[in-house]
Amino acid sequence: MGQPALQAHHSHFTLSAKTNPELMLHDLAIGEGLGFAEAEQAEDNLPAHLQQLGRTTVLAETSYDDAAFTALFFIGDQPRDSSDYDRAGRNALKFLTRPGDPDSYRLRASKNDALWKQMREVGNVQSPQFRQLFADLPPEAIAVVGVDYLNIVWWTEAMIETGRKLLAIRQYLSKPDISRADAKFLKLKQDLADQLATLATHTRKDFGGPWGLLAMSLAAPRAGRKFLMFNPNLSLTCETPLPVSIPVQKGATP
């Protein structure tokens, strides 16, 4: 009995009736975060004399076939470490703000490993110890950093727990002479369904924006990616499709 085939799709769409250069730079950063050099290069080609660039639509998409989806949770047969997800979530922050922006203090958590370790050790974003890590920032900025922290920790824990449920099913299905109709398999299947339902119910708001899309894609190098931007002054169409998996015929050399 083979393993289940898993697929997923993630998208983010924005429409701006009036786009200034700063907003467009942030839109382009999404494409850069998806790995498209064209988006990074386009930052240097923005019309310097225009302060209003008109209407802009942005569509960013990622797609996961079974191999890409599985790689979100496993390296070979081993579950991925929580540090993998922390790193991807932190790296995603680098494409949400830029040095010099009013909220560029958010980059501290993405760039400073020692600081992130301290944040993890403290844990409670409401505690004086957490606030002391950002003693130079006003309370409202510390609150923003706290939201970033909670987003990343939530996502890491969600991915780890979902990976555990998937691993239990994989281990069960790897055994000989088992049935997908027996009580144990049905229980494992229900556990996974309950976990996914819990995630859907308690998904944090920011996961639906570019941060969630980028965090997922940065954790899954095999994912397919697409970035479309349409504006009267600058348009981009970028796509990296999923790798084509060619089945190996019996007796053939892979």
The number of beta carbons lying within 10 Å of the beta carbon of residue 110 is 21
Instruction: Tell whether the model's pLDDT for residue 133 goes beyond 90.
Output: yes
Question: CA 151 to CA 148: how far, in whole Å?
Answer: 5
Share of the chain above pLDDT 70, in %: 91
Instruction: Tell whether the model's pLDDT for residue 252 goes beyond 70.
Output: no
Instruction: Tell whether the model's pLDDT for residue 249 goes beyond 50.
Output: no
- Give the pLDDT confidence of 12-33 residue by residue, as tens digits: 999 999 898 888 999 999 999 9
- Give the pLDDT confidence of 166-181 residue by residue, as tens digits: 888 888 887 777 766 7
At 200 the pLDDT is 66
Instruction: Tell whether the model's pLDDT for residue 35 goes beyond 60.
Output: yes
Average pLDDT over residues 141-161: 94
> In this structure, are strands 8-16 and 78-79 parallel, antiparallel, or unpaired?
unpaired
Whether the CB-CB separation of 195 and 211 falls below 8 Å is answered with no
More confident residue, 202 or 228: 228
> In this structure, are strands 8-16 and 56-64 parallel, antiparallel, or unpaired?
antiparallel
Average pLDDT over residues 126-134: 96
Q: Per-residue DSSP letters for the chain?
A: -PPPP--EEEEEEEEESS--HHHHHHHHHHHHHTT-HHHHHHGGGS-TT-S----EEEEEEEEE-HHHHHHTTEETTEEPPHHHHHHHHHHHHTTT--TTSTTGGGHHHHH-HHHHHHHHHH--TTSHHHHHTTTTS-HHHHHHHHHHHHHHHHHHHHHHHHHHHHHHHHHHHTSSS--TTSHHHHHHHHHHHHHHHHHHHH--GGGGSHHHHHHHHHH-TTSEEEEEEE-SS--EEEEEPPPPP-PPPTT---
Average pLDDT over residues 36-61: 86
Q: Where are the domains of the chain?
A: 1-72+220-246, 81-209
- Give the pLDDT confidence of 56-93 residue by residue, as tens digits: 999 999 999 988 888 899 988 889 999 999 999 999 99
At 180 the pLDDT is 63
- Which band of pLDDT confidence, cut at 50, 70 and 90, is reported for residue 201? low
- Which band of pLDDT confidence, cut at 50, 70 and 90, is reported for residue 3? low
pLDDT, mean over the chain: 86
